[in-house]
Amino acid sequence: MSNIKEEYSKRKKDIKKHLESFNNKNETEKLKELLFCVLTPQSNAEKCWEAVNLIHEAKSKSDIQNILKGRARFHNTKSDRILSAIIIWPRISSALKTKDKRELRNWIAETIPGYGLKEAGHFLRNIGHSENKIAILDRHILRNLKSEGVIEKIEIKGHKGYIDIESFMLKFSDEVGIPSDDLDLLFWHKEHGRYFK
């Protein structure tokens, strides 16, 4: 635990600055983050963000498919999900006023095609709405939780498994005195040497 605290102490200023960049996004920027999280499963995050920045130029489903080719896996399925997410966006935008962040995350996970708890949490964090109440249990998080002795296996079994590991991470976050959003970025930097979404 002492090592992770030392590492956080070194990177805290940069992490806080990066998290602040997620706040005060306008509607267009929030929609882009929603679409980004549609694309990221099993795909390269940087290429997905590149695709999102091109999608606003698309005029048809085939345009979106062409944009996604080479940038996101399962481009045909994800192009359908992108179109659905754009249609659903007004409902999502209105729901962001919900105060209970876990309730909001769960609802978004059920509402957006292709989303699960991880993607919904990722979206909320990327628009400054997670408030350290939820966890984004990506593989890099799971690997680091295992190395810290928080979990025994790098696997999640269903909805209940996700919620259980999330509670372990949030408890660990409290124990080491590092907010969960900060901890996510600390783990990401540890594996990739940089910060991203």
**118 in active site:** yes
10 Å CB burial of residue 149 (0-12, 13-18, 19+) is: exposed
For residue 124, the number of C-alpha atoms closer than 13 Å in the C-beta half-sphere is 32
**10 in active site:** no
Q: Which of 30, 32, 78, 118 is catalytic?
A: 118
Contact by Cβ (8 Å): 74, 42: yes
128 secondary structure, DSSP code: T
Q: Which of 30, 78, 133, 138 is catalytic?
A: 138
Cα–Cα dist 195/17, whole Å? 11
Positions marked active-site? 118, 138
